[in-house]
């Protein structure tokens, strides 16, 4: 069993009724900012999943415990960019990454929602899990305070490369925050692997949404 008892939370309806007539825009409010997200129907990564809402809400409510101001934050599988935008509003140096086909919509959402903010300008980059990490993100140059990952585990064949990517970026001093909807046995098997590799704590559970939010850090011998 994992140490600590997680808080039980509910994902709040932080989105605002749509004002626009376009079906593909969602309006959210976090940290006092209205955020407009364009979703894309073609791509899995281009819809806002519950894990992103859960972690956005958690970071907004726990700014003392997880102070992102001036911290280096990497989001893997950033999707529509909602969480990266929230991290940027909270003052982080954000690098939002995803697959090449998702980057156009991701860049659009991030620039649109952060362009007028007096904060660190977020960066959007391609990152295919487990591929070219040493070339694209050499350890000598890139060290992150936080790795954010939401709803990265579902029915897909890239779970081993995903785990390898988490291991690659999670250095001593890095905190991995991972929120996921748990539906399948493969989700729990992945969780077990994470627990075997990292010091892992469940920070919060959102039972209505089947979402768990975990914090993982490197085991230091």
Q: Which CATH number goes with the domain that contains 67?
A: 3.40.50.150
Q: Per residue in 32-89, pLDDT tens?
A: 999 998 887 666 556 778 999 999 999 999 999 999 999 999 999 999 999 999 999 9
Q: Is the pLDDT of residue 22 over 50?
A: no
In a domain? residue 8? no
Q: Which residues constitute the domain of residue 209? A: 45-218
Domain membership of residue 13 (yes or no) is: no
Q: What is the pTM of this model?
A: 0.90
If DSSP states are collapsed to H, E and C, what string results for the chain? CCCCCCEECCCCCCEECCCCCCCCEEEEEECCEEEEEECCCCCHHHCCCHHHHHHHHHHHHCCCCCCCCCCEEEEECCCCCHHHHHHHHCCCEEEEEECHHHHHHHHHHHHHHHCCCCCCCCEEEECCCCCCHHHHCCCCCCCCCEEEEECCCCCCCCHHHHHHHHHHHCCCCCEEEEEEECCCHHHHHHHHHHHHHEEEEEEEEEHHHCEEEEEEEECCC
Q: Is residue 26 part of a domain?
A: no
pLDDT in tens, 188-214: 999 999 999 999 999 999 999 999 999
Average pLDDT of span 160-179: 97
Q: Does any domain span residue 3? A: no
Instruction: Say yes or no to pLDDT of 106 above 50.
Output: yes
Q: Count of domains in the chain?
A: 1
The answer to the question of residue 199 being in a domain is yes
Label residue 179 by pLDDT band (50, 70, 90).
Answer: very high
Q: What is the pLDDT of residue 20?
A: 45
Examine residue 59 and state whether it is found in any structural domain, yes or no: yes
């Amino acid at each position: 069993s994992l140490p600590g008892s997680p808080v039980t939370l509910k994902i709040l309806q932080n989105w605002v009724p749509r004002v626009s007539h376009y079906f593909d825009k969602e309006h959210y409010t976090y940290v006092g900012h209205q955020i407009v997200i364009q979703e894309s129907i073609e791509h899995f990564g281009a819809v806002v999943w519950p894990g992103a809402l859960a972690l956005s809400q958690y970071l907004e409510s726990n700014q003392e415990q997880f102070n992102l101001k001036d911290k280096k934050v990497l989001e893997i599988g950033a999707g529509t960019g909602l969480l990266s935008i929230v991290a940027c509003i909270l003052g982080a140096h954000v690098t939002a990454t995803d697959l090449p086909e998702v980057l156009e919509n991701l860049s659009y959402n991030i620039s649109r929602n952060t362009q007028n903010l007096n904060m660190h300008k977020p960066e959007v980059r391609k990152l295919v899990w487990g591929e070219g990490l040493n070339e694209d993100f050499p350890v000598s140059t890139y060290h992150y305070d936080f790795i954010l990952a939401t709803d990265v585990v579902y029915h897909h064949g890239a779970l081993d490369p995903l785990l390898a990517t988490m291991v690659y970026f999670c250095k001593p001093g890095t905190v991995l925050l991972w929120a996921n909807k748990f539906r399948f046995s493969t989700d729990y098997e992945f969780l077990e692997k994470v627990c075997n590799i990292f010091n892992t704590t469940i920070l919060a559970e959102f039972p209505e949404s089947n979402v768990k939010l975990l914090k993982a850090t490197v085991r230091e011998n």
